[in-house]
Amino acid sequence: MSDHHTTPAAMSSALAAAHRRVERVFAGRTAKPGGCGRCYFPEELALLTVPRAPMSDDLVRMMFHETPDHFADHPGVIRRLLPQFLAYAAEGRFEGAGYLPTGLGRTGWQAWPREEAEAVDGFLSVWWAEALASPTPASGLRTVYELCADMRQSVTPMLDHWAAHLGEEVPRRHLVAWLDEGVDDLLQDDASSWTSSWAPDPLAEVQDWLLRHASRLDARVPLLALPPEERWIAYAETVAAADSASAADTS
């Protein structure tokens, strides 16, 4: 994920409502005591056991990205931090590196109690939908996409929503820009432009999705249907044909 700082932005009314739902569902949560004493002071770990104790953005970000073995009660830590981290992320208050992978993506939250899982899913759905509809989303479209993909451990919800809105100018323009940067990676069977360091690898899913929905947006996309060893030969032929046509037009 690209590392950049953005000016904090206020959440829209819809996203604020989704966040209030998260706050309501996870209000007053605490985690069982115990955590890595090499990474955190005792007083920092103690904050996790106190409902609504103020915590700095830096501390929340660090704890939200730790591996489960850093805490005695990793799911409890994530539940405790969730309202503040989602506000931090959605408002674009990013400073420094280290956004991925997140702790939420390691919890299997989809199997949490229904009210909890629906609150998380609702927030991520609204956040992605609003980012895709905005010409200049806070934090950048790629950041929102990658965080949502990591938290969900899946690209499917984001791609499904994108496909449903490709008839609209802004989502289509976002895809054209993304293709300009990322199709060459996919031609090399590298999905790094479309996800981050989590499993399962979405390469086949993304390639198939682009073949179905973006073949007319970029001349390189149809080449994804070819065997890997044939793609670059066809790509070179496509470029040569385009160069010849351009030269003929200017002669």
Residues in contact with 216: Cβ distance below 8 Å, sequence separation at least 6, in sequence order: none
Asked whether the predicted pLDDT for residue 251 surpasses 80, the reply is no
**Domain segments of the chain: what residues?**
1-127, 154-246
Residue-wise pLDDT for 33-49, tens only, equals 999 999 999 999 999 99
User: According to the model, what pLDDT value does residue 250 have?
Assistant: 64
150-154 long-range contacts, CB within 8 A, separation 24+ = 150/100, 150/101, 150/102, 150/104, 150/105, 150/196, 150/198, 151/102, 151/104, 151/105, 151/109, 151/120, 151/124, 152/105, 152/124, 153/105, 153/198, 153/199, 153/200, 154/202
Is residue 2 scored above 50 in pLDDT? no
Residue 119 has pLDDT above 60, yes or no: yes
Residue range 79-94, pLDDT digits in tens:
999 999 999 888 877 6
In eight-state DSSP terms, residue 110 is: G
pLDDT at 99 over 80: no
| Range scoring the smallest mean pLDDT among 31-40, 95-104, 107-116, 203-212 | 95-104
pTM: 0.88
What's the confidence (pLDDT) of residue 244? 67
Exposure string of 105-122, with b = 16+ CB inside 10 Å and e = fewer, is: bbbebeebeeebeebbbb
